[in-house]
């Protein structure tokens, strides 16, 4: 492992926590934000390791000192501004090549963009379906920059399908033909493979080879113990090594971790030392140490691999509920 690693966990009802010992112990680091905030999104600045953004049900926060103190940013999606139930942030994307451009996805579903590192924001013109029985409101569960085109941004919406922008968020198109479900949980894209996209849903994995114009369900219920698929992440130095979390529901009572070494075409279930107590929900990696990887079940188990997902250990600390992870290596 790298000599200096910091792991962050965003929780439901306990704010942000930080670990300085590779995830074994955590201490709460939520000064400046509502102590019992729901933190569904964490994003690390690609060139400033002490700068992170946290998306919560109480607004978006930024730290420039590694979590010692957080500052709430003024934004049009602040709770209560336009929605009587408030607006919760579910996803954050810091553009990897132009980090002053930041995208945020919310619940009720909306897309927002900052072009100055989070100091000011604009709501984007995306005709997302907002009201969504029976969950009441849809939500933007993931945001991804296309590794093959700096102008293309992707969004997954639960429950409103896949959305794509070819102009950095100015306009958006819904791309859902052939999807097994419009309940999108995560998206994966692959450098050097333009047009190839993988979408995880509540009932399957879906491949597109034409930039989302059409989708082919993969019928994973025949190969995985659970068809409910959640978060995905690629190994930072090998995008064909892909991790997928799944389980028997949200939050579920059991989970599994799937590993692919061929971009999601075939999978092997990882051997975790302690069976997950719920769906494997979220991941964290960092290019500073590509072999160091973390995942967490929604009900608070955190797992660590130091050898690129070949083997895993369970970290000692257990949370009530984890919604997001972030890893800094310097």
Grouped pLDDT means (10 residues each) for the chain, 330 residues: 83 96 96 92 96 94 97 80 70 97 95 96 93 87 97 96 97 97 96 95 97 97 94 94 96 97 95 98 96 97 97 97 96
Q: What's CA 194's distance to the chain center, in Å?
A: 21
Q: What pLDDT shows up at residue 3?
A: 60
Q: How many CA atoms lie within 13 A of 6 on its CB side?
A: 17
| Cα torsion 128, 131, 133, 134: sign | positive
For 222, phi then psi, to 5°, come to -90, -10
- Residue 20's contacts (CB-CB under 8 Å, 6 or more residues apart) are 6
**pTM, rounded to two decimals:** 0.95
Summarised one tens digit per residue, pLDDT across range 105-139 is: 999 999 999 999 999 999 999 999 988 887 888 99
pLDDT score at 85: 54
Size of the chain, expressed as the number of residues it contains: 330
Give 141-194 as a 3 state SS string. EEEEECCCCCCCEEEEEECCEEEEECCCCCCCEEECCCCCCCCEEEEEECCCCC
Q: Hunting for tokens 């579903």 — which residue is that?
A: 109
112 alpha-carbon distance from chain centroid: 16
Q: State both tokens at 276.
A: 């997950």
- pLDDT for residue 1: 47
Going from N- to C-terminal start, the domains of the chain cover 5-329
Write the burial class of residue 325 (CB in 10 Å: 0-12 exposed, 13-18 middle, 19+ buried).
Answer: buried
Residue 314: CB atoms within 10 Å: 16
Residue 150: its pLDDT value, please? Answer: 95
Q: How far apart are CA 46 and CA 51, in angstroms?
A: 9
Distances in whole angstroms, Cα of residue 239 to Cα of each of 189, 261, 307: 8, 9, 15
Q: How many CA atoms lie within 13 A of 272 on its CB side?
A: 24
In whole angstroms, what is the distance from residue 278 CA to residue 251 CA? 6
Alpha-carbon span 188 to 196, nearest angstrom: 9
- Alpha helices in the chain, H assignment, sequence order: none
pLDDT for res 228: 97
Q: In the CATH hierarchy, which fold is given to the domain comprising 5-329?
A: Methylamine Dehydrogenase; Chain H (2.130.10)
Of 170, 184, 176, 70, the residue nearest 126 (C-alpha)? 170
98-324-245-106 Cα dihedral, nearest 10 degrees? -70
Q: How far apart are CA 301 and CA 296, in angstroms?
A: 5
The first and second tokens of residue 121, run together, are 């924001």
Q: pLDDT tens digit string along 274-310?
A: 999 999 999 999 999 999 999 999 999 999 999 999 9
User: What integer pLDDT is reported at residue 330 of this predicted model?
Assistant: 87
Buried b (16+ CB within 10 A) or exposed e, 148-161: eeeebbbbbbbbbb
Task: Tell me how far the alpha carbon of residue 63 is from its chain's centroid.
Answer: 19
Q: How many CB atoms lie within 10 A of CB 188?
A: 24
221 phi and psi angles, rounded to 5 deg: -65, -15
């Amino acid at each position: 492992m790298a000599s200096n690693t910091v792991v962050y966990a965003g929780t439901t009802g306990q704010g942000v926590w930080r670990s300085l010992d590779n995830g074994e112990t955590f201490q709460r680091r939520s000064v400046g934000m509502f102590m019992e905030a729901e933190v569904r999104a964490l994003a690390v600045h690609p060139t400033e390791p002490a700068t992170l953004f946290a998306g919560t049900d109480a607004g978006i926060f930024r730290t420039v000192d590694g979590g010692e103190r957080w500052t709430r940013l003024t934004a049009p999606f602040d709770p209560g501004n336009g929605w009587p139930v408030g607006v919760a942030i579910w996803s954050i994307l810091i553009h990897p090549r132009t980090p002053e451009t930041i995208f945020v996805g919310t619940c009720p579903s909306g897309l927002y963009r900052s072009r100055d590192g989070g100091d000011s924001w604009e709501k984007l013109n995306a005709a997302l379906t907002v009201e969504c029985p029976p969950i009441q409101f849809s939500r933007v569960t993931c945001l991804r920059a296309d590794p093959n085109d700096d102008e293309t941004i992707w969004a997954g919406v639960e429950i409103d399908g896949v959305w794509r922008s070819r102009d950095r968020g100015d306009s958006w198109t819904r791309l859902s033909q052939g999807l097994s479900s419009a309940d999108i949980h995560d998206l994966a894209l692959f450098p050097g493979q333009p047009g190839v996209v993988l979408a995880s849903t509540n009932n399957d994995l879906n491949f597109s080879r034409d930039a989302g114009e059409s989708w082919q369900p993969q019928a994973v219920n025949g190969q995985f113990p659970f068809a409910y698929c959640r978060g995905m992440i690629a190994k930072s130095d090998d995008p064909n090594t892909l991790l997928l979390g799944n389980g028997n529901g949200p939050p579920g009572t059991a989970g599994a971790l799937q590993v692919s070494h061929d971009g999601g075409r075939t999978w092997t279930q990882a051997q975790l030392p302690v069976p997950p107590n719920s769906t494997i929900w979220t991941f964290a990696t960092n290019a500073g140490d590509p072999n160091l990887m973390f995942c967490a079940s929604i009900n608070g188990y955190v797992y660590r691999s130091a050898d690129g997902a070949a083997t895993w250990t369970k970290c000692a600390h257990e949370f009530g509920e984890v919604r997001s992870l972030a890893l800094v290596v310097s």
